[in-house]
Structure 1
């Protein structure tokens, strides 16, 4: 940390980055790095919960994913943040024979995140600055406000007495600012699991000690497109056709696509495991022209392996950031089944999404009334910011900006800790 931040006192508040895919907690203090170790020496905690039915316990993070993949009976829930702003948030689901409200699910994970942060820090905390996307919900101010209020209520329910919020790209900017030696005009691009958010902000060593930075923030914009959407489009384009998407019934009608869309979307995977869906699929299988493909789908549903396939898809997306092709081992669905996914086909599938993200970059420039050539630096963070097609689109829009890659999973959390110090001071 630089001299604008404390060296002799703990901040009274911590920063919490509750992410769609991963979460972090950070705290300005004189004893250790701001980002706290949350699981197995790592500063990230995957935003996942597994309700283990065999051993009647609840697991979080990497352990949740591991127990699910090891084959324990139970229910895996991931992409929890996607519930905020959706119609599901006031609903409920069934977990191991018990009714679980979705608000209680969020409280379970955020409460665990709080406990782990306190354990790592060695002290309790009741005040926090939470990160939030520029828009939880696109083009709906009332729904967006309700999503923030819901997150605040859940956080307070698990013991955070005082909660405030900071836009995630602004938090990332505060973290980047610690490295600067001169003033820069920066466009921050945070490509997270559920949203892509952008801010244009003036940063400098002289400005960073100020408690109030509103005048430095020139514009914010965001769109509800993120890493899970890129996963979904990769799955629908290159993996779900192996299970029958796009194939025909004997009546020449298409096999219903709703099953595949639900399997390709993290927070709707569990909806495919109902008895009603299983009975429907028996009828579809009998009428299918390509029964081998539907047999793979039935195997997937029978084994409740939808999250396993989603994890394979996510790993393929990551691999395609640095390779032209990636081979998936799908032997779980059919012995010896290997399938190559191609970066060229992936980029074709996500081109429209990338275009929408590009339009959002253009919009934030327009809102700031700043020509693209005046941007000194494009600072990128977020787990999906490494996608090659996105980087190309950014380069086209900001051809003169220096590209700086932040800590893809830690910049926001560390920046929220800085915001927490400035907002609440030591204590």
Structure 2
């Protein structure tokens, strides 16, 4: 069987074609979206779980070395690895929140795949993380299809997160391809996520239309100007229909991180003065919330960071604030504080103000936020997102007739209003924010593999 597979930064989903209808499959209980989260007692458990419970192969020198090290570590830690040792989605989040100190947890693994400077064994580990998630999702999907799923078209952004340019993109694609093949897929192809979203919209068109697809995902913002319509439908070669495209490594996660940094971290001492009157260094506070940056998180949770934070508490004019940052370090609560910001973002998409509870840092600690404060906090990443539209319009020789807006972060009134100001006379169609890409990938999969 053939599927479209959106391995997303925020959520994962898959879809199939059945009797001419395209539909997403439940992969998290009855839910069609699996939040992109994974947890285990420690990270080495993932490799042994794949090997022992799912028969995943370890063939290259890097893979073999990773597995051997994992087996030794788990044995030394006296950790039995069961079929339930690795959790996904909200189950992973619950496991982490219940015991953040003693649970290995990663949100949005896709964010790290294009990271610059990864060593071969680090890449092998990310192969395992992605493989574990893909294998779990394929198995969940097969429970509903009752048919083996062996062919997939996987979505990809125009540019993955990372600073390595095309080399970073190829690194990320390599990880996704290897992971999918090891997870049991026989044939794997890729399609740009904004193009896939456009393919879903194209199914509704009755004549050729110039469509600007704006796909604002969890980790990236991608824009494509496409010729779409009945005459293009079902064609396996679509290069002539792609008029321009652009993408940046900024998405909904960056809005959450920036809101956390600008509005929540001052409650933990960010921007406060030292006893001498000088400003405390801001890097520890940024590293604390930069959950999509491997190096930043590694620096923040290093042993030397604890010593630095203890020293900052002594030097601070308001040590009670910086003590909260030390608590966050000790309890490994970076993901929790960014998730608090994410929930505030979601609330402020439908209301003018919200209250952000931070009880896990200190009993009774809360912070009041308004839509105006939210807009000010996210101004920098918002402008980077809009710049992608500007770049597409500069590449193209013609203007779009319609904007198709989709992606998990596309619901924000701020983003829609900014687009309306940028292209004031172009109608905006709101897509299925959490389904357009997946359904479009499925249409493309059925075109390629039929």
TM-score of the two chains, using structure 1 as the length reference? 0.89
1:28-427 to structure 2, matched below 5 A, reads: 28-30=17-19, 33-52=22-41, 57-71=85-99, 73-87=102-116, 89-90=118-119, 101-136=125-160, 137=162, 140-268=165-293, 271=298, 272-371=300-399, 375-425=400-450
Alignment correspondent of 1:6: none
Matched residues, number = 406
Q: CA deviation at 1:408?
A: 0.7
Distance of aligned partners of 1:421 and 1:381 in 2 relative to their CA distance in 1, 3 Å threshold: same
Name the CA distance, whole Å, in 1 between partners of 2:334 and 2:384: 28
Name the CA distance, whole Å, in 2 between partners of 1:209 and 1:386: 30
Alignment correspondent of 1:23: 12
Q: Deviations over 1:53-89 (max 9, x none)?
A: 6996110011111222233631111110011110364
Q: CA deviation at 1:32?
A: 7.0
Secondary structure of the structure 2 residue equivalent to 1:401: coil
Secondary structure of the structure 1 residue equivalent to 2:158: coil
Distance of aligned partners of 1:405 and 1:182 in 2 relative to their CA distance in 1, 3 Å threshold: same
For structure 2, list consecutive stretches of 5 or more residues without a partner in the other structure.
Answer: 43-78
* Contact preservation (8 Å) 2:251, 2:385: no
Q: Deviations over 1:213-252 (max 9, x none)?
A: 2222211111111011111111111000000111122243
Alignment correspondent of 1:9: none
* Contact preservation (8 Å) 1:228, 1:265: no
Q: CA deviation at 1:349?
A: 2.3
Distance of aligned partners of 1:139 and 1:389 in 2 relative to their CA distance in 1, 3 Å threshold: farther
* Contact preservation (8 Å) 1:237, 1:346: no
Q: Deviations over 1:299-341 (max 9, x none)?
A: 2222222212111111111111122221011122222112112
165-174 or 325-334, which deviates more:
325-334
Q: CA deviation at 1:139?
A: 7.5
Secondary structure of the structure 1 residue equivalent to 2:30: coil
Distance of aligned partners of 1:88 and 1:170 in 2 relative to their CA distance in 1, 3 Å threshold: same
Q: CA deviation at 1:39?
A: 0.5
TM-score of the two chains, using structure 2 as the length reference? 0.84
Name the CA distance, whole Å, in 2 between partners of 1:100 and 1:294: 37
Name the CA distance, whole Å, in 2 between partners of 1:232 and 1:55: 35
Name the CA distance, whole Å, in 2 between partners of 1:221 and 1:42: 32
Name the CA distance, whole Å, in 2 between partners of 1:322 and 1:423: 40
* Contact preservation (8 Å) 1:91, 1:102: no
Runs of 4+ in structure 1 off by over 4 angstroms are 53-56
* Contact preservation (8 Å) 2:208, 2:230: yes
Secondary structure of the structure 2 residue equivalent to 1:380: strand
1:5-20 to structure 2, matched below 5 A, reads: 12-20=1-9
Distance of aligned partners of 1:266 and 1:91 in 2 relative to their CA distance in 1, 3 Å threshold: farther
Name the CA distance, whole Å, in 2 between partners of 1:379 and 1:80: 27
Q: Deviations over 1:141-178 (max 9, x none)?
A: 23322322232122222222221110000100111122
Distance of aligned partners of 1:248 and 1:384 in 2 relative to their CA distance in 1, 3 Å threshold: same
Name the CA distance, whole Å, in 1 between partners of 2:80 and 2:297: 20
Distance of aligned partners of 1:240 and 1:335 in 2 relative to their CA distance in 1, 3 Å threshold: same
* Contact preservation (8 Å) 1:135, 1:222: yes
Name the CA distance, whole Å, in 2 between partners of 1:88 and 1:37: 37
Q: Deviations over 1:259-310 (max 9, x none)?
A: 2112212235853334332222112111211011012112222222221211
* Contact preservation (8 Å) 1:138, 1:223: no
* Contact preservation (8 Å) 1:376, 1:400: no
Secondary structure of the structure 1 residue equivalent to 2:175: helix
Name the CA distance, whole Å, in 1 between partners of 2:439 and 2:117: 31
Distance of aligned partners of 1:256 and 1:111 in 2 relative to their CA distance in 1, 3 Å threshold: farther
Q: CA deviation at 1:103?
A: 2.7
